[in-house]
Amino acid sequence: MKLKKDDVTQLGILSRLTIDEHTISDVTSRLENVLRLVDQLQAADTENIEPMAHPQQDFQTLRKDEITEKNDQKAFQKLSKGICNDLYLVPKVIE
């Protein structure tokens, strides 16, 4: 679909965007690309497709909830300067 300069200017006014003379051709070309994509979507055959209320309407297969990493807490705490009762000690930042 070809857009006219007046169409793009009117869209700018309606969307409260300032489109100056230097960028109007770039904006026009980008809008025409979007409209071409919409035309492609509308051309898709959806005759035998049942509408869905939500894209995840079907059952989602979930992975098994299992631990995959080993607990390295002790090794990491050896690298820290301050540990007390297995907790990291940090400097006070709030008075």
Distances (CA, A) of 33 to 1, 38, 43, 69, 70: 9, 9, 15, 47, 51
pLDDT tens sequence across 35-89: 999 999 999 998 998 888 777 767 777 888 899 999 999 899 989 888 999 899 9
Instruction: Please state, in angstroms and rounded to a whole number, the distance separating the CA atoms of residues 93 and 80.
Output: 18
SS3 category, 6:
helix
User: In this structure, how many other beta carbons lie within 10 angstroms of the beta carbon of residue 8?
Assistant: 20
Of the given ranges (7-16, 28-37, 45-54), which has the lowest mean pLDDT? 45-54
